[in-house]
Amino acid sequence: MTLLKIGVVEDELVIARTILGTLDELGYSHCGPAISYTEALEMLGDNKPDLLLLDIQLSGKKDGIDVAQKVNELYQIPFIFLTANSDPETIDRAKKVKPHAYIVKPFSKEELFAAIEIAFSNFSENRTGTKPEVTTSWRSRDFIFVKDGYVFRKIFFNEIVYLESDANYVTVHLESEKKVVVRSTINDFIGQVDRQIFVRVHRSYSVNINKIEDIFPTEISIRGFRVPIGKSYKEMLFRILGIGDNL
């Protein structure tokens, strides 16, 4: 499976090495760093990255916003501003080229991962009208980072009991009885977890099949909770669990 290739445009080499090291830890392929407008365009033409991490302050007369304008003109890829600049004037200039995310340094690994995944997913979905395949080595992971207030919190799949959907929000119910609310549809959230473990049992619920205790005609008992079974999901649930419909 091909890894997502990230292009890096950053003129501070110490910061560039940090970015490249973080991308390695996250399982992405990468190219660069380019330190100027000219080098950035050469990298785009030669290496054809899938997504660009772009500093605004660069060596030379033209900056990262100039690079972004050229990306919009010539290349069909998303880009993320990764910069120390957060003043209103710079942000106003940046908004005009429509970045897919804007991260202010210093950044965390979790912030970078979330920005890349969301930017690439949204960009690909807008272009094709379909959900893109996850192309990083994180597909084999057994955890997910979810935003809980101002923190990206690491949750292992085996901690999740079930998911409850309410329009564009999903409540993640954990074994600790803690609840984390995530801004996502249930379909999109399930796409980020292990589909062999989480099964949709109702239009508003998905359960961790390893946590199921009892199955009743219209509901499931799971770690002391009762979750409804939708009629259209019952046959698939029974097939996955390898049981006959004797209820």
For residue 59, the cross-strand partners are: 36
Same domain, residue pair 109 and 152: no
Structure tokens at 1: 């499976």
Q: Is 139 helix (H, G, I), strand (E, B) or coil?
A: helix
Same domain, residue pair 74 and 119: yes
Structure tokens at 144: 């997910």
Domain CATH number, residue 46: 3.40.50.2300
Is 112 among the domain residues? yes
E strand or H helix at 101, and its extent?
Answer: strand 101-104
174-224 residue pLDDT tens: 998 888 888 888 887 887 777 778 889 999 999 999 999 999 989 999 988
Q: What is the pLDDT of residue 42?
A: 95
Q: Tell me which of 77, 100, 128 is where a domain ends.
A: 128
When pLDDT is averaged across residues 154-167 and rounded to a whole number, the result is 90
Is 106 among the domain residues? yes
43-87 residue pLDDT tens: 999 999 999 999 999 989 999 999 999 999 998 899 999 999 889
Give the CA dihedral 107, 66, 17, 144, nearest 10 degrees: 40
Same domain, residue pair 101 and 52: yes
Between the alpha carbon of residue 38 and those of residues 44, 60, 62, 69, 196, the distances in Å are 10, 9, 9, 13, 47
How many percent of the chain have pLDDT more than 70?
A: 89
Same domain, residue pair 38 and 102: yes
Structural domain including 157 reads: 143-241
Same domain, residue pair 120 and 148: no
Same domain, residue pair 117 and 17: yes
Domain CATH number, residue 218: 2.40.50.1020
Same domain, residue pair 105 and 22: yes
Same domain, residue pair 96 and 147: no
Q: Tell me which of 128, 156, 186 is where a domain ends.
A: 128
Same domain, residue pair 196 and 230: yes
Between the alpha carbon of residue 207 and those of residues 79, 143, 156, 211, the distances in Å are 35, 16, 14, 8
Distance CA 204, CA 167 (A): 9
96-147 residue pLDDT tens: 999 999 999 988 888 898 889 888 888 876 654 444 444 333 444 688 887 7
Same domain, residue pair 29 and 101: yes
Same domain, residue pair 97 and 17: yes
